[in-house]
Amino acid sequence: MTYDDPFRCFVPYPDAAVKHSPTGPLAGLTLAVKDLFDVKGYPTGAGSPIVLAQSGIKTKTAPIVKELLQAGARFVGKTHTDELAFSLNGKNAHFGAPINPAAPDRITGGSSCGSMAAVAGRLADIAVGSDTGGSVRAPASYGGLFGIRPTHGRLSLKRVWPLAESLDTPGWFTRDGEVFARVGNVLLGKDRTELPEVPRLLLADDMFAQAVPEAETILRNVVQRALPSVGQPESVKLVRDIDALYWAFRWIQGREAWASDGAMIERFAPPLGPGVKERFAFSKTVTDAEYAKGEATRKTFRARLARLLGQDGVLILPTVPDIAPLVSAEEPELEDFRNRALRLLCLSGLSGFPQVTIPVAQREGAPLGLSLIGPKGSDKSLITFAVAYERATRVRIA
């Protein structure tokens, strides 16, 4: 690195030249990349000493990163991730934890922890992350950033270390909406489903109830501030049994995470960090019946959400239940918060529909995000609306 790293967000690899176009829609902007994505000239460590030891120097760059470089973004480093990307906390037992620039006494969230810290700390304008269970959306909320989980399968995950194949997506962070949309224009192409300029808005009352009372009040007030620009959303109850969705997600993620990493874990018996160790132990035990039940629940929920959104609907909900937990929180408290957060974060994952989180508020001096979920394939127009919605939520002073 050519500058200090006060937020400990970058993996301290030896510098290697990474070519980028001198011109293009992202020229003049800097790019950080989560250490799950291959970058030519660098290893890929996936937050794991055993993966790093086997990596070697990569000779090709992941396509999604290559597109950003060809659009003019300048690479500034690879960012830390939770171990094997299997956490929402941003605390890696082997490589440490980045500092949250927006709230230094609180966690960054994971697993795209370093990417969030790089952007929030103004060490990069754009950062690539990945999102399986919320690993872009949760950190973005904690750091006061724009973040996206695209429609599942819309963007390439070639040359990216996997966690759970049917849930993994790439994503990105920015500080402002204009750059956020520019990245989308580079990566997404034309929408299969194009939202109207002002979509039909749905407010998920039962999902707002998943937030802590203070955060729910703040976010409902944010929605009220946007009414003059976007109109009154219709209140809806999204799910019949949130716990059923939570377990469907856990079973599917667990079975697929063990398929990705189980053989390596059993062969080398690496010392996994707190939380990660327990999650992989759970993953190993997921039965065929549980996986099948999870798949059936996913299919039913995906169809229900598709009917609800149609071609023109956007769902409004909290990104996570509250501001980021304190760095000083013990592992049981962090795990409890993670499980609560997954009840919100699993919706986009199970449906495969795109979700954008926008920075709209603070509580106790720490950022708090609001999310918008659109129909499958509506990513680009969802970004356009999300950027406009974020502007509409800002406090107006006469």
Enzyme catalytic residues = 34, 111, 135
Residue entry with tokens 């809806």: 236
Nearest to 226 by CA among 371, 394, 374, 369: 394
Q: Is 156 buried (19+), middle (13-18) or exposed (0-12) by CB count in 10 A?
A: middle
CB-based contacts of 29, cutoff 8 Å, min separation 6: 72, 73, 74, 125, 126, 179
- Which residues make beta-bridge pairs with 78? 33
- Coil vs helix vs strand at 199: coil
Tokens of 154: 């819309």
Q: In what order do the strands lie in the sheet with 355-363?
A: 74-79, 30-34, 126-131, 169-174, 146-149, 355-363, 366-373, 313-318, 200-204, 234-236
- Taking residue 384's Cβ as centre, other Cβ atoms within 10 Å add up to 19
Amino acid identity for residue 204 in this structure = A
**Strand 355-363 and strand 146-149: pairing?**
antiparallel
- Taking residue 284's Cβ as centre, other Cβ atoms within 10 Å add up to 14
Q: Is 206 buried (19+), middle (13-18) or exposed (0-12) by CB count in 10 A?
A: middle
